[in-house]
C-alpha cells in the first residue's frame, strides 16, 4: 500500500527531452492509467517509477520515500511487461517463486503463496509447465501472478493486454479491474487504448509529446476535455471538429457555409473569435421537429449492429462529419438528414493552441 508522488519529473536522452515536468499525486489504492499515442513517453514515465530509467530531473516518491536513487528491487513494486518477460528456462511455479526466493521467504510459505495466487488466477494446473507450453492468455496470467505473489505496494503495467486477441483482451481487462479492487494495491497502468483507459482507471493521465494534456476521471475527460487533443483522443468514433466563428453577440457559432448553432452559455467575451467546434458523433441526432438544426449530406453508412455510423458532410461548408445513431437505420447515400445537438454538448477550442474556451 503506498501513494506515489511525482514532482516535476522530467526525462531527456542527451539533448532530446521526452517528458516535461510531470506532476502527479497518485493516492493509496488508486488505479490510474497513463494513456496517449505511440511515442508520447508513457512507457518511459512508468519505467522511471519502476527504477528502470534514471529520472533526469524532479523527484519521485513511493509511500513517502524518495526513490530517485533506489534500485528497482528496493522500491517494493512489481511490473507486468508487454511481452510478459517470463523466464523461459523456469517452470511457471519457479517464475512465480523467483522473487520470493530472493527475498528469503521460507520454502513452505513460498509454496503456500504461489498456490494461493495460482488459484486466484486459475493457473493452478500449469504450475509445472514451462512458459512456452502456454497460450498467450495463460502467459499473461502467469505474468500477473508473478507480480501479485510478491504482494508489492505498487503494481505497474505496461500495455499488458496488447498481445492478446480482442475477445481475450476484454475478458482480461475485466479481471484486472476486479483483481485490483479486491487487492486494493496502488496500480499504474499504461496503454494507448482509450477504451482500456476509460474502463480501468479511477483517474487518467493523457500524455501527448511528453506533456500532460489532462488529468482527471474518465467522466471528466469525456465531458470536459481540456484540450482538442484529449477531446479527439477520448471517445470512439472520435469527436468531430469544425472550424467556425463566435457570433457578434456571443450567443451562437457561425459556420463558413452560413449555418449557425446556438451556444449554451454567453461567449460574448470571445465575440468574433475563430474557434474549433467539437461535437461527439453520439451527441448528434436526427431531428424532424422545427427546432434549430443543420443539414448533413450522407456519404457512407456503416452498420455496427447496435449503432449506425453515418459519414457525410456538414451544412453548406462541406466539412466532414460523423454521426452515430442508435439501432439499425436504413439511410441511403446522398440523403440529407436534419441534425440537431444539445448546446451543452458542444465544445469550443482555441484553433491555435487547442485549449478549451470557457464562457
Partner 1 sequence: MLKRVHFEPSFLPFLLVAPQIIITVVFFIWPASQALYQSLLVEDAFGLSSEFVWFDNFIELFGDEHYLGAFQRTIFFSFSVAFLSMAFALTLAAMADRVIKGATTYRTFLIWPYAVAPVVSGALWVFMFDPTLGIFTYTLGVLGYEWNHKLNGGEAMFLVIIASAWKQVAYNFLFFLAAMQSIPKSLIEAAAIDGAGPTRRFFSIIFPLISPTTFFLMVINVVFAFFETFGIVHAVTQGGPAKATEILVYKVFNDGFIGLDLGGSAAQSVILMLIVISLTVIQFRYVEKKVDY
Cα–Cα distance, 27 to 225 (Å, whole number): 22
- 98 touches partner 1 by CB under 8 A: yes
Note whether 159 and 172 are within 8 A (CB). no
Residues 145 to 174 in contact with partner 1, rule: CB under 8 A: 146, 150
- 160 touches ligand ATP by CB under 6 A: no
- 83 touches ligand ATP by CB under 6 A: no
Answer for which of 78, 148, 230, 244 binds partner 1 (CB under 8 A) is 78
- 42 touches ligand ATP by CB under 6 A: yes
Note whether 10 and 58 are within 8 A (CB). yes
- CA distances to 86, 130, 259 from 288, in Å: 59, 63, 17
- 103 touches partner 1 by CB under 8 A: yes
Cα–Cα distance, 16 to 253 (Å, whole number): 41
- 43 touches Mg ion by CB under 5 A: yes
- 18 touches ligand ATP by CB under 6 A: yes
Note whether 264 and 344 are within 8 A (CB). yes
- Binding map of ligand ATP across residues 183-212, x = CB under 6 A, - = no contact: ---------x--------------------
Strands 336-341 vs 284-286: parallel, antiparallel or unpaired: antiparallel
Integer distance in angstroms from the first to the last C-alpha of the chain?
Answer: 42
DSSP letters for 193-205:
-HHHHHHH-SEEE
Beta carbon nearer to ligand ATP, 39 or 318: 39
Note whether 318 and 257 are within 8 A (CB). yes
To the nearest whole angstrom, how small is the minimum distance from the Cβ of residue 20 to partner 1?
24
CA-based torsion, 131, 134, 140, 142: positive or negative = negative
Other C-beta atoms within 10 Å of 287: how many?
Answer: 15
Answer for which of 29, 37, 63, 72 binds partner 1 (CB under 8 A) is 72
To the nearest whole angstrom, how small is the minimum distance from the Cβ of residue 353 to ligand ATP?
22
Answer for which of 69, 71, 108, 288 binds partner 1 (CB under 8 A) is 71
Residues of this chain that interact with Mg ion (CB under 5 A) are: 43
Residues of this chain that interact with partner 1 (CB under 8 A) are: 50-52, 71-73, 77-79, 81-83, 85, 87-89, 98-99, 102-103, 130, 146, 150
Residues of this chain that interact with ligand ATP (CB under 6 A) are: 13, 16, 18, 36, 38-44, 192
Amino acid at each position: 500500500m503506498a501513494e506515489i508522488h511525482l514532482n516535476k519529473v522530467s526525462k531527456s536522452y542527451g539533448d532530446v527531452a521526452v517528458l516535461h515536468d510531470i506532476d502527479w499525486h497518485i493516492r493509496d489504492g488508486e488505479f490510474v492509467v497513463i494513456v496517449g499515442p505511440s511515442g508520447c513517453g508513457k512507457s518511459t514515465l512508468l519505467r522511471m517509477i519502476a527504477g528502470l530509467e534514471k529520472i533526469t530531473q524532479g523527484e519521485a516518491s513511493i509511500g513517502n520515500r524518495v526513490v530517485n536513487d533506489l534500485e528497482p528491487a528496493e522500491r517494493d513494486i512489481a511490473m507486468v511487461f508487454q511481452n510478459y518477460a517470463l523466464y523461459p528456462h523456469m517452470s511457471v511455479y519457479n517464475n512465480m517463486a523467483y522473487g520470493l526466493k530472493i527475498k528469503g521467504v521460507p520454502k513452505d510459505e513460498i509454496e503456500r503463496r504461489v498456490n494461493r495466487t495460482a488459484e486466484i488466477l486459475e493457473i493452478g494446473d500449469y504450475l509445472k509447465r514451462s512458459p512456452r507450453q502456454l497460450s498467450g492468455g495463460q502467459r499473461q496470467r502467469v505474468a500477473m501472478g508473478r507480480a501479485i505473489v510478491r504482494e508489492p505496494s505498487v503494481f505497474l503495467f505496461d500495455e499488458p493486454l496488447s498481445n492478446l486477441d480482442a475477445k481475450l483482451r476484454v475478458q482480461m481487462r475485466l479481471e484486472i479491474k476486479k483483481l485490483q479492487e479486491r487487492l486494493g494495491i496502488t496500480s499504474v497502468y499504461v496503454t494507448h487504448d482509450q477504451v482500456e483507459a476509460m474502463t480501468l482507471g479511477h483517474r487518467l493521465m493523457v500524455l501527448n509529446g511528453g506533456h500532460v494534456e489532462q488529468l482527471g476521471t474518465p467522466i471528466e475527460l469525456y465531458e470536459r476535455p481540456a484540450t482538442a487533443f484529449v477531446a479527439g483522443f477520448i471517445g470512439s468514433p472520435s469527436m468531430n471538429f469544425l472550424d467556425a466563428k463566435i457570433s457578434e453577440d456571443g450567443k451562437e457559432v457561425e459556420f463558413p457555409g452560413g449555418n449557425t448553432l446556438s451556444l449554451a452559455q454567453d461567449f460574448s467575451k470571445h465575440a468574433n473569435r475563430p474557434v474549433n467546434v467539437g461535437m461527439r458523433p453520439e451527441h448528434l441526432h436526427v431531428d424532424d421537429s422545427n427546432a434549430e438544426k443543420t443539414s448533413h449530406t450522407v456519404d457512407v453508412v456503416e452498420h455496427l449492429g447496435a449503432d449506425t455510423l453515418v459519414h457525410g458532410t456538414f451544412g453548406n461548408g462541406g466539412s466532414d462529419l460523423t454521426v452515430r445513431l442508435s439501432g439499425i437505420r436504413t439511410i441511403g447515400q446522398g440523403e440529407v438528414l436534419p441534425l440537431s445537438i444539445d448546446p451543452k454538448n458542444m465544445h469550443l477550442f482555441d484553433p491555435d493552441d487547442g485549449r478549451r474556451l470557457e464562457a
